[in-house]
Structure 1
């Protein structure tokens, strides 16, 4: 099968969506598909006429297309024209568009089908737009070395510095734990939203936590592996999250996770017992959960054992790609 995979060019930090796209394309090729990845620049999700023309050009001639929802959901007329011309166009919706429901609804109504990374994301999309031809293809796990941890315990939050990721709330929560021993690392790009990144840095300085909280910037390769190696707990407390690939990444290292209740990260964590969900209304909710973990060795050991157990049962990206490939091969409804 020949697949044209269209991805946005205006997300330059290491987002979960970018990582999913790259891993899926690689594994589709490993399963025998001919995959052509096309990057479309533009001010997505609502591009200019020139941006949408570039997207239309990318669609032209593709008989089977996977288009990232950040691009395709903002260009329903171009999607409809491609499908009308005989192409099978699937939108890969990493997360519903919060501010453009009409555009997104029109695009979803025009496509052959939709790929979502979680049941949570699929349910959220269908709650907004009604029944859709959806296939859920959960992110896979990359094999990873087991974390060793640190003394005092090391807390990591791996996410770009963005308001949705709530790093300022995390810093405020950690400021309430000054009587306990811990260190923390906020690992993510400051370039996605420089103004918010400045607020995060200012919060660390305001609470006098420069010696306890490290802002590493975006890391990859051995630098990121070293941070995971030293970690004892990871956090994903985003206000909204379709799945939370970093949860799977954490479990792959045998590191338990605290996630925010009501988000797709709960689905990523599952029922393994390798952490907990927290209803985060404010910093004290998170601080209380962290205090309970830091002060109870039995809880830390229980979560750690559960994370190590879960590590051995994580499906790889080949399962993700096989699910998508089977959906693409089905006749259009």
Structure 2
């Protein structure tokens, strides 16, 4: 019987943080341990990718202290921002976990974008291997960061099968799930919904208030729509409440400006929900053909039209729901995700 290679998984801040990236890494850590593998969890400063000088020094020291016999899996928020000369001093073989390159984040000023691009590009040359969640992220690293595709492995996120029986609400519930951050496009969704007040629906936006100023802006937008309790900005909710919302929803909508993958789309698909989203990042690769309507990002009119179509044409909505349910049968579980990562770890 072969011995499983030990590893260390370095993640900034609280591993219980409610974002797709943290959920992915928490479940991957659990899955690798479930294999019987010795995997330590290294908690780095939560301020990455923008640490203080002292936090940068601390993170470098922790990473350089990892034994050379362990494989170091390094979260992308750290990997793309940590000082290259410090990373070069790490003895353990490095596996970069890149959800999406930091330089592609929404709202960066040009100098910050350039700094992050150069840092991540240089750091990628030090990685023995790279794990990504989607073909889109792989292609971005190959074509924009000059990474050899042989050093990249796609480990698609898994899902947990729903344990609620779906019972759609009346009027139809439009559900959106994503952190309250400019990249998620909730402002576009709110504006689109304000153009549909002639139709019968209600909507709930669920998301951790990751970007506090933006969350406040969204709250003001919701109030200004005059839609009242038809549109609720729910913020963070319990896992049980979220599953209940998925079960009672008729449409999943996310006007995202970029996704390296988008776990919430798989969650929506697993609940048999038709999807309205954008042609941004990995979304076209993640949302199965026939299971939704995708429009250009930042196009309020097109997004509103797509929602109007699904709200007005029950037959279209039902056909897309059936396509989502069929696609859900082929979605991997988290054990499958961990198995792929384990093969990478043992091959180094």
Runs of 4+ in 1 over 3 A off after TM superposition: 10-13
SS in 2 for 1:211: helix
2:11 is aligned to 7
The answer to whether the aligner puts 1:218 opposite 2:262 as a matched pair is no
From 168, 182, 186, the counterpart of 1:149: 168
Aligned counterparts of 2:220 and 2:16: Cα–Cα separation in 1: 24
2:79 is aligned to 72
Query: Residues 125 and 10 of structure 1: is their aligned pair in 2 closer, same or farther, counting only changes over 3 Å?
Result: farther
1:247 is aligned to 265
SS in 2 for 1:152: coil
The answer to whether the aligner puts 1:260 opposite 2:278 as a matched pair is yes
TM-score normalised according to structure 1 size: 0.93
2:218 is aligned to 200
1:227 is aligned to 245
2:190 is aligned to 171
The answer to whether the aligner puts 1:94 opposite 2:99 as a matched pair is yes
TM-score normalised according to structure 2 size: 0.89
1:188 is aligned to 207
From 113, 119, 122, the counterpart of 1:106: 122
SS in 2 for 1:81: coil
2:109 is aligned to none
From 266, 283, 295, the counterpart of 2:300: 283
2:89 is aligned to 81
Deviation at 1:202, TM superposition (A): 1.1
**Residue segments in structure 1 that go unaligned for 5+ positions in a row:** none
Aligned counterparts of 1:314 and 1:108: Cα–Cα separation in 2: 29
Matched-pair contact (CA < 8 Å) for 2:20–2:263:
yes
Deviation at 1:293, TM superposition (A): 0.8
2:180 is aligned to 161
Query: Residues 48 and 198 of structure 1: is their aligned pair in 2 closer, same or farther, counting only changes over 3 Å?
Result: closer
Query: Residues 281 and 193 of structure 1: is their aligned pair in 2 closer, same or farther, counting only changes over 3 Å?
Result: closer
SS in 2 for 1:39: strand
1:316 is aligned to 333
2:132 is aligned to 116
SS in 1 for 2:197: coil
Aligned counterparts of 1:176 and 1:236: Cα–Cα separation in 2: 16
2:66 is aligned to 61
Question: Number of aligned pairs?
Answer: 326
Query: Residues 26 and 318 of structure 1: is their aligned pair in 2 closer, same or farther, counting only changes over 3 Å?
Result: same
Deviation at 1:13, TM superposition (A): 4.2
From 264, 275, 293, the counterpart of 2:310: 293
1:238 is aligned to 256
* Greater displacement, 46-55 / 63-72: 46-55
Offset from partner CA, 1:38-84 (integer Å, 9 cap, x none)? 110153114333222322233222321101011122122222111xx
Matched-pair contact (CA < 8 Å) for 1:141–1:314:
yes
Aligned counterparts of 1:42 and 1:18: Cα–Cα separation in 2: 12
Offset from partner CA, 1:181-208 (integer Å, 9 cap, x none)? 1110000122x11211111111111110
2:107 is aligned to none
